[in-house]
């Protein structure tokens, strides 16, 4: 019998791809918006850079903490469900066998075959079978808090560094427009990369991130210009 090759599926990337795209997107949008708002208040390059760097550090830590807490809550829920399932398998094995059999019948198997499949899977690894088919928990979708936290913080910092690099290199005059335009380009590229990695429509992803980025920068620029004029 020929050895089956292992296929690579895009769903295996869901965990790190979500955290990476979210982190980079937030890094660009929040830092660019902050920079544009401060620059619109007619402050100098140094003040804009200080505000941007502070936003980078605070944002990266906030992303890491937020992802860790959020994904840890998911992991806690998964562990609670697995603990309960482990107890039920130990105390009510026949009930759990019937439960798994019913799941396979609903998926299209004949009752006799469904019971045979359920029995064989439970004999091999009952908890894994119930976790996957009853609870929807698998190796691909399981929560990984530390991985998500590091991915979010790192990608946020990378995304935030892009508009700061523009501030550092671009002429001080017209800084608001330069940062806004380049940041929208960065966001569009990020949308394209994320869409390609996830197999999603490229144009839709690029338009989605650039729209919200433009809205955020436009609002902060207006606030910065208003308060800069008042002060």
% the chain with pLDDT above 70 = 85
* CB crowding 8-31: b at 16 or more within 10 Å, else e: eeeeeeebbbbbbbbbbbbbbbbb
Is residue 192 very low, low, confident or very high in pLDDT (cuts 50, 70, 90)?
confident
Note the pLDDT of residue 157. 93
Task: Give the least confident one: 56-60, 139-143, 177-181.
Answer: 139-143
Quick check: 140 and 11 in contact, CB under 8 A? yes
Note the pLDDT of residue 125. 83
Q: Is the pLDDT of residue 1 over 50?
A: no
Query: How crowded is residue 70: how many other Cβ atoms within 10 Å of its Cβ?
Result: 15
Note the pLDDT of residue 109. 86
Note the pLDDT of residue 218. 83
Give 57-112 pLDDT, tens digit per residue. Answer: 999 998 888 888 888 888 888 888 888 888 888 888 888 888 888 988 988 888 89
CA 216 – CA 36 distance, rounded (Å): 10
Q: What are the tokens at 43?
A: 């402050």
Handedness of CA 90, 94, 95, 97 (dihedral sign): positive
């Amino acid at each position: 019998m020929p050895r089956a090759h292992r296929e690579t599926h895009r769903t295996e990337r869901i965990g790190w791809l979500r955290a990476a795209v979210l982190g980079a997107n937030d890094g660009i949008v929040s830092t660019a918006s902050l920079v544009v708002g401060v620059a619109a208040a007619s402050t100098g390059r140094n003040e804009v850079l200080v505000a941007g760097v502070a936003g980078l550090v605070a944002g990266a830590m906030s992303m890491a903490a937020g992802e860790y807490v959020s994904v840890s809550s998911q992991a806690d829920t998964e562990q609670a469900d697995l603990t309960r399932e482990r107890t039920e398998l130990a105390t009510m094995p026949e009930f759990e066998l019937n439960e798994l059999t019913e799941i396979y019948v609903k998926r299209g198997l004949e009752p006799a075959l469904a019971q045979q499949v359920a029995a064989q899977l439970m004999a091999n690894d009952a908890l894994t079978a119930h976790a996957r088919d009853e609870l929807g928990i698998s190796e691909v979708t399981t929560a990984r808090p530390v991985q998500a936290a590091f991915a979010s913080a790192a990608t946020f910092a990378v995304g935030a560094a892009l508009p700061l690099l523009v501030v550092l290199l671009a002429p001080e005059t017209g800084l608001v427009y330069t940062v806004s335009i380049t940041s929208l380009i960065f966001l569009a590229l990020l949308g394209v990369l994320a869409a390609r990695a996830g197999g999603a429509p490229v144009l839709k992803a690029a338009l989605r991130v650039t729209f919200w980025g433009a809205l955020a920068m436009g609002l902060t620029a207006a606030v910065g210009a208003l308060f800069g004029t008042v002060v």
